[in-house]
Amino acid sequence: MKKWYIVIFGLVFGLLGFLESSIVELECPDHFPEPLYDFSKNELRDANILLGKTLFYDPILSIDGTISCASCHSPYHAFAHTDHDLSHGIDDIIGIRNAPPLFNLAWQNTFMWDGAISHLDMQSLAPMTSPSEMGNNLMNIIASLEASKKYKLLFFESYGDSTITGQRLLLAMSQFQLTLVSGNSKYDRIKQSQDTFTVQEKKGYELYKVNCSSCHTEPLFINEDFASNGLSVDSTLMDFGKGGVTMIKEDSLMFKVPSLRNLAYTKPYMHDGRFEKLREVLNHYTDEVQVYDFPGSDNRISVNVDLSSNEKSDILAFLRILNDEEFVFNKEHRER
Ligand code: HEC
Ligand code: HEC
């Protein structure tokens, strides 16, 4: 008898949660372009965002219950990982790449340093099943979630019934990650005429426009494309980036162009985390650019960039105003 009460109570509670959960509009500044993500297929809702967030912080997704998404994508570092150059997964297995920060994902449709994934809704499957990250499989994850009363209720509130499927899980993971919008740095406030450049920031902005903007394009500071920025090939990792995915010679050593936002929180830099400091990154662009002779390689940096030490300081001053404290310290994005 008592059991029935609990089931009915659970159903009513879940249904109320589902009915109460309202559709959420993605908040983004006016100077941002239209998102690339098709929200009509996965409308943002409070309950689904909460489900995605709960999953993001839960080591239940990994085979041994030790690693969550946040183990590698820390909310205190714009969802990057800063204590290692290469990522560490279950059993402390070292991966081959530096974990990138996560924000403004709604404006992207290629993911991973080599572009191996072309839709956010498919992205989460990769770390869940990668032997060097969470080492799990979808069947096993669904079974663990089904055994949890908390998740039964969260799925009910999100989808109107408590069935847990791989698709529902992946769509919810996207929901939370789509809400990670970084658009309130000093740069953004300047774009909205609410603030102004200092003299040095303005000089840095002009130098950025000449030397960096073809790849790190405003206002998101990405260009949804791949390039080589002249890094030398790491002789132990032998990572050929996009070329390793497409097996096309011209794509060798091409990596996804990362954003320049929030760099103060996301060190180390580059796909293999080889640089700890932004000045080292600039020294790379002025002194260490490697030229590889691949046919069709027209959008890569082919010569060292000409910048004086003062000009580097100006660029660094500009990069500092791309840090978005409001985003990094947003408690809504953290585990509660
Ligand atoms: C063991 C560390 C680790 C874990 C755990 C992990 N990631 Fe990642 N993540 C990475 C690394 C490293 C990359 C870059 C991989 C590559 O380029 O091959 C990445 C890439 C990504 C990207 C692509 C970002 C971009 O700009 O292209 C997204 C999105 C992402 N992870 C989300 C997640 C989610 C969601 C989870 C949990 C289901 C998760 N990650 C778990 C290390 C991790
Ligand atoms: C030809 C395109 C191109 C140009 C021009 C370019 N970059 Fe890059 N940048 C890239 C690519 C590609 C990467 C990632 C490379 C990798 O990890 O293999 C990158 C990485 C970076 C990173 C590391 C970001 C991170 O999250 O790890 C910084 C910082 C950076 N660039 C700053 C600059 C600055 C400053 C300029 C101008 C002086 C500039 N870039 C010009 C393509 C470019």
333, 180 Cβ separation under 8 angstroms: yes
Mean pLDDT of 16-20: 70
pTM of this prediction? 0.93
**How many Å lie between the centroid of ligand 1 and the Cα of residue 79?**
10
Q: In this structure, how many other beta carbons lie within 10 angstroms of the beta carbon of residue 293?
A: 6
Q: Is 229 in the pocket of ligand 2 (CB under 6 A)?
A: yes
Mean pLDDT of 188-212: 97
From 205, 211, 216, 279, mutation site for ligand 2 pocket: most ligand atoms within 8 A of C-beta: 216
- The tokens for 84 are 């290692």
Question: Are 29 and 177 part of one and the same domain?
Answer: yes
**How many Å lie between the centroid of ligand 1 and the Cα of residue 225?**
18
Q: Give which of 21, 37, 57 is closest to 122, Cα–Cα.
A: 37
Q: DSSP states of 86-114 as a string?
A: S-B-GGG-B-SSPPPP---GGG-S-BSTT
Question: Are 11 and 156 part of one and the same domain?
Answer: yes
Question: Are 167 and 196 part of one and the same domain?
Answer: no
The residue contributing the CA closest to ligand 1 atom 16 is: 112
Question: Are 137 and 227 part of one and the same domain?
Answer: no
How far, in Å, CA of 168 to CA of 155, rounded? 8
Q: How confident is the model at residue 294 (pLDDT cuts 50, 70, 90)?
A: low
Q: Is 271 in the pocket of ligand 2 (CB under 6 A)?
A: yes
332, 326 Cβ separation under 8 angstroms: no
How far, in Å, CA of 98 to CA of 273, rounded? 5
Per DSSP, 21 falls in state: P
52, 158 Cβ separation under 8 angstroms: no
Residue 300 has pLDDT above 70, yes or no: no
Mean pLDDT of 79-98: 85
CATH number for the domain harbouring residue 226? 1.10.760.10
Ligand nearest to the Cα of 278, by number: 2
Q: Residue 53: which domain range?
A: 2-182
Cβ neighbours for 4, distance < 8 A, ≥ 6 positions apart: none
Mean pLDDT of 300-318: 89
Please write down the HEC assignment for all residues of 184-216: CCHHHHHHCCCCCCCHHHHHHHHHHHHHCCCCC
Question: Are 51 and 174 part of one and the same domain?
Answer: yes
Mean pLDDT of the chain: 91
- Boundary residue ending a domain (182, 197, 218): 182
**How many Å lie between the centroid of ligand 1 and the Cα of residue 192?**
32
267 is a domain residue: yes
50, 335 Cβ separation under 8 angstroms: no
Question: Are 203 and 171 part of one and the same domain?
Answer: no
* For the chain, percent of residues with pLDDT exceeding 70: 92
From residue 35, how far is each of 31, 40, 74, 101, 247 by CA, in Å?
12, 12, 24, 18, 30
How far, in Å, CA of 72 to CA of 273, rounded? 13
Domain tally, the chain: 2
- Boundary residue ending a domain (150, 182, 214): 182
